[in-house]
Structure 1
Amino acid sequence: MPLIDKFMILAIAGQALLTVAILVLMGRERVPRVMSGEIPEADIAVDRSAYPLRARLLSNSFDNQFQLPVLFYVIAILAISTGGVVWLEVIAAWLFVALRYVHTVIHVTSNRVHKRFAVYTAGLAVLVILWLMVLFRLLSA
């Protein structure tokens, strides 16, 4: 396997690692509260409002990892599976992942919506560019 493909796979792994890390942090916030009876199961069976703010922020951030990142996984796997990944695609993939980490940090700390939205939009722009690069490469071959 070419080294460039390995770098793209590592970008995919970096995004997956972020998702798992948020899941672990969310579990550490939620499970003890339910297990101790602090939050009755009936209060969380339908919605998350019974959880404290940090647990809700983590939960929202976790849900967010199944929005744009799904499109990232699709294009990154398509790029690898069709062969011919180029460095600009790898750089765009890593930039997208880096922006997802920044978005997550903002989301689960200050949660400043304007900053979070700006980073989200930048990530979306990078993702669209990645899609266009890969599609152009594949369709012009």
Structure 2
Amino acid sequence: MSHALIAPMLAHVGLAGFLYVLLTLARAPSIWGIGRRADGSNPWAEVEPRISANLSNQFEWPLLFYVACLLLIQAGVQSPLATWLAWGFIGGRLAHSLVQIGTGNVRLRGLVFSLNFLAALGLWALVLQLYLHG
């Protein structure tokens, strides 16, 4: 039996996997010497810490996303609202990654993070409703 919340969860796993690959590529000049500039420097030195920080972020707030999704799946909830919130979370995670890695703009990143935050809180509201009234 398939559940609509599995796809957004897999999409987040894909995002984290992509970030691992991106981080490996950004570190390759420093670690393996692949892609070094003529002067021996890493052309990705400025962005590598932002990729690393973003990858770490994928294991912080998203943990609460996964737990809420798993609780809803376990309870057999097939809610269009839950699916919409889960995909909203993923969209917010993607936007957060693009802003954090691409711009380093902390103010914009905080604004974009609000999308993730609110979507996960919405999922938890559904879990709470389920367990209070179910």
Normalised by the length of structure 2, the TM-score is 0.87
Residues 88 and 115, structure 2, Cα contact 8 Å, conserved in 1: no
CA positional deviation for 1:139: 2.6
| Structure 1 unaligned regions, length at least 5 | 39-50
CA positional deviation for 1:102: 0.4
| Match of residue 55 from structure 2 | 62
CA distance in 2, matches of 1:88, 1:70: 20
SS in 1 for 2:5: helix
| Match of residue 82 from structure 2 | 89
CA distance in 2, matches of 1:74, 1:24: 25
Q: Which has the higher helix share?
A: 1
| Match of residue 19 from structure 1 | 16
Out of 121, 125, 128, which is 1:128 matched to? 121
Equivalenced residue count is 126
CA positional deviation for 1:23: 0.7
What percent identity do the matched residue pairs reach? Answer: 26
Residues 89 and 134, structure 1, Cα contact 8 Å, conserved in 2: no
CA positional deviation for 1:31: 2.9
1:109 aligns with 2:102: yes
Normalised by the length of structure 1, the TM-score is 0.83
CA positional deviation for 1:124: 0.6
Once superposed, which parts of structure 1, at least 4 consecutive aligned residues long, lie more than 3 Å away? none
CA distance in 2, matches of 1:56, 1:104: 13
Spell out, residue by residue over 1:19-64, the C-alpha distance to the aligned partner (whole angstroms, 9 max, x if none): 11011000011133212297xxxxxxxxxxxx81211110000000
AA in 2 matched with 1:112? N
1:31 aligns with 2:24: no
| Structure 2 unaligned regions, length at least 5 | 37-43
CA distance in 2, matches of 1:104, 1:36: 26
Alignment RMSD, CA only? 1.6
| Match of residue 7 from structure 2 | 10
CA distance in 2, matches of 1:137, 1:104: 31
AA in 1 matched with 2:5? M
